[in-house]
């Protein structure tokens, strides 16, 4: 599953880390913005799979599809999925919420799975290359969780996207908690628990305005990805 996980990392980087506010705004207004976003995804994917793009990734009957053709197909499908989502929001009154976000991400990941070399799920399915796996978890803990929690809060409370201070304060809090999972043994667990307590304490003291839902989802998702990271890093939880 080496190529699949590298493509997952490229997708997460392009769809979250490298999709700056101006890119996100531009792609909703113009086809050129969408092309910029999709080309970013394409180039990051090429960079992460460079040593394999010339080899055959999968076959369609007698047709052998190499990495270049597979990534081109990925580019086209990514463009189509995102354009359909934006069109449905603009012209069909489709709500841009948690469901649409999750469906969008599922479709993108499904396409990556389909174009990757077919290897049956086994030990490596949940344990990719160590540095790739850690990088995937890093983006999930930081930027992906930020967006997911935003959509959940938007659906429940009709809140706006967090401002700079709130966004990066929570990213910092999650990353520190996530970092505890790299420590060998189990003596780190009380320190992680203490860190979780101080997150809730900050919310209680209203040092920064955060909803209980935001904190709870941030902690639960970070712990989940933390244990997954530990499995990738050590081979066991």
| Residue 17 lies inside a defined structural domain of this protein | yes
Is 111 found in the same domain as 145? no
Q: Which of 83-87, 93-97, 120-124, 172-176 has the lowest mean pLDDT?
A: 120-124
Residue 105 sits at φ, ψ, to 5 deg, of -70, -40
User: Which of 121, 154, 169 is the last residue before a domain boundary?
Assistant: 121
Compute the average pLDDT of residues 3-19.
Answer: 95
Q: Can you tell me the distance from the alpha carbon of 113 to that of 109, in angstroms, rounded to the nearest whole number?
A: 6
| Residue 187 lies inside a defined structural domain of this protein | yes
For 56, which DSSP code?
E
pTM over the 0.85 mark: yes
Instruction: State which residues form the domain around 61.
Output: 2-121
Is 36 found in the same domain as 10? yes
pLDDT digits (tens, 9 = 90+) for 197-223: 998 888 887 777 788 899 999 999 999
Is 146 found in the same domain as 115? no
Is 66 found in the same domain as 146? no
Q: Both ends of the chain: CA-CA distance in Å? A: 21
| Residue 199 lies inside a defined structural domain of this protein | yes
Is 153 found in the same domain as 70? no
pLDDT at 151 over 80: yes
Find the helix or strand (DSSP H, E) in which 82 lies: helix 67-91
**What is the residue-averaged pLDDT of the chain?**
91
Task: Mark 164-192 as b/e (b = at least 16 C-beta within 10 Å).
Answer: eeebebbbebbeebbebbeeeeeeeeeeb
């Amino acid at each position: 599953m080496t190529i699949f996980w590298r493509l997952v990392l490229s997708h997460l980087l392009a769809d979250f880390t490298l999709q700056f506010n101006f890119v996100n705004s531009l792609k909703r207004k113009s086809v050129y913005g969408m092309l910029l976003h999709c080309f970013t995804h394409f180039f990051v994917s090429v960079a992460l799979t460079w040593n394999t793009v010339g080899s055959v990734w999968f076959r369609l009957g007698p047709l052998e599809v190499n990495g270049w053709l597979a990534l081109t197909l990925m580019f086209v499908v990514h463009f189509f999925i995102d354009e359909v989502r934006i069109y449905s929001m603009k012209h069909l009154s489709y709500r841009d919420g948690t469901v649409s976000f999750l469906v969008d991400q599922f479709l993108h990941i499904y396409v990556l799975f389909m174009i990757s070399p077919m290897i049956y799920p086994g030990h490596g399915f949940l344990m990719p290359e160590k540095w790739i796996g850690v990088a995937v978890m890093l983006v999930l803990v930081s930027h992906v969780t930020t967006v997911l929690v935003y959509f959940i809060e938007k659906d429940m409370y009709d809140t706006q996207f967090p401002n700079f201070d709130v966004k990066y304060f929570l990213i910092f809090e999650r990353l520190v908690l996530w970092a505890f999972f790299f420590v060998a043994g189990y003596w780190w667990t009380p320190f992680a628990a203490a860190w979780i307590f101080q997150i809730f304490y900050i919310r209680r003291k209203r040092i920064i305005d955060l909803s209980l839902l935001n904190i709870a989802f941030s902690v639960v998702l970070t712990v989940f990805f933390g244990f997954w990271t530990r499995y990738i890093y050590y081979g066991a939880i």
